[in-house]
Amino acid sequence: MEQIKRQTPENGGYKETDRELREGSRSERKGEAMEGLEKEEDREILRMEVESRSSNEEFARVAVAVFMSRLDPTMEEIDDVKTAVSEAVTNAVIHGYQGESGIIYIQVTIEGRLLSVEVEDRGVGIGDVKKAMEPMYTTDTTGERSGMGFSFMEAFMDQVQVKSAPGKGTCVMMKKRIGR
Amino acid sequence: MMEQEFSYEAKGQALVIHLPKELDHHNCRNLKVETDLLLAENYITKIVFDFSGTVFMDSSGIGVLLNRYKQMERSGGKVAICGAGAQITRVLNIGGIGKLVPRYDSIEAAIAG
């Protein structure tokens, strides 16, 4: 199982960001407690299973956009997440399942201001994740695919992690803080 | 989900391609075959991509644009973009198209430019 973790300089690393965000959500809970609305779990989750069809690329990104709207994001933040989700789902359809049938598992988690999106397939998997994530790398021979899918996910989200194993499938985990 | 189509319009030696509302991998599937046919049958020196009806594009759109750009460059032709909104402009810039392909406000300006 190969795992690649990328960080952008401005988020200062995953662990730090995560801790900071949890503290953020704790103080929010405190506020709610004063109004008598304290919840056990300050986390909301959306789970979806869609068939691996290119028509579901739009459905998936729109569903995620609607779910994240409860964070009161800007238009730009919504567009960023939609683009990243579209890239991940397109990869699952084209590369993971190679255009064959299969199920794409999508989980979206909201924790404080942190939005996490996981897109998973049980398809062919990636042998060399590092190489697959290189900008402009593509296995396409028609010239129609730009090879920028992972670069786009990294450009539009704060953090992108890819877990993959040949024959088992691929899971793309992306995080973005909403409302800077 | 509704099928979104491209529409094509010939203006002199320019081919104007009106892009669908959502330009993703699903909606890009037929574009290559269709434009290749139009370019083979007509004398085209410029392709204008009209984004005025488009609200979303991902890297699939970049792939399509880059391939047409290379195609036209080989034959000495040009490619232009018009009507790009905020999300489209951001994606074009991150995809590196911003520097390659000139952008205009209207189809007329894109054909003239």
The pLDDT assigned to A38 comes to: 45
Mean pLDDT for the stretch of residues B91-104: 94
* Residue ranges making up the domain that contains A9: 2-27+42-177
* Average of per-residue pLDDT values in chain A: 85
Percentage of residues in chain B having pLDDT higher than 90? 87
Is position B93 within any domain?
yes
d(CA B113, CA B84) in angstroms, rounded, equals: 16
Is position B77 within any domain?
yes
The pLDDT assigned to B32 comes to: 86
* Residue ranges making up the domain that contains B59: 7-112
Chain B residues lying within 8 Å of A55, measured CB to CB: 1, 26
Beta strand spans in chain B (E): 7-11, 14-18, 22-23, 46-50, 56-57, 78-82, 103-104
CATH number at residue B75: 3.30.750.24
Is position A35 within any domain?
no
The pLDDT assigned to A69 comes to: 97
How much is the pTM? 0.84
Contact B59 A76 (CB under 8 A): no
Contact B59 A144 (CB under 8 A): no
Is position B1 within any domain?
no
Q: What single-letter amino acid sits at B53?
A: G
The structural domain count of chain A equals 1
The pLDDT assigned to A42 comes to: 85
Q: CB-based contact (8 Å) between B90 and chain A?
A: yes
Chain B residues lying within 8 Å of A98, measured CB to CB: none
CATH number at residue A155: 3.30.565.10
Is position A32 within any domain?
no
d(CA B36, CA B79) in angstroms, rounded, equals: 15
Chain B residues lying within 8 Å of A156, measured CB to CB: 94
Tell me if residue A92 falls in helix, strand or coil.
helix
Residues B17-62 have pLDDT tens digits of 999 999 999 999 888 889 999 999 999 999 999 999 999 999 999 9
**Sheet of A103-111, strand order:** A2-7, A159-165, A169-177, A114-121, A103-111, A43-51
Is position B21 within any domain?
yes
Annotated catalytic residue A145: yes
Is position A37 within any domain?
no
Residue B1 pLDDT greater than 50, yes or no: no
Is position A87 within any domain?
yes
Is position A50 within any domain?
yes
Residues A87-132 have pLDDT tens digits of 999 999 999 999 999 999 999 999 999 999 999 999 999 999 999 9
The pLDDT assigned to B3 comes to: 56
Q: List, for chain A, all residue ranges whose pLDDT scores fall below the cut of 70.
A: 1-41
Is position A11 within any domain?
yes
Residue with tokens 């697959």: A132
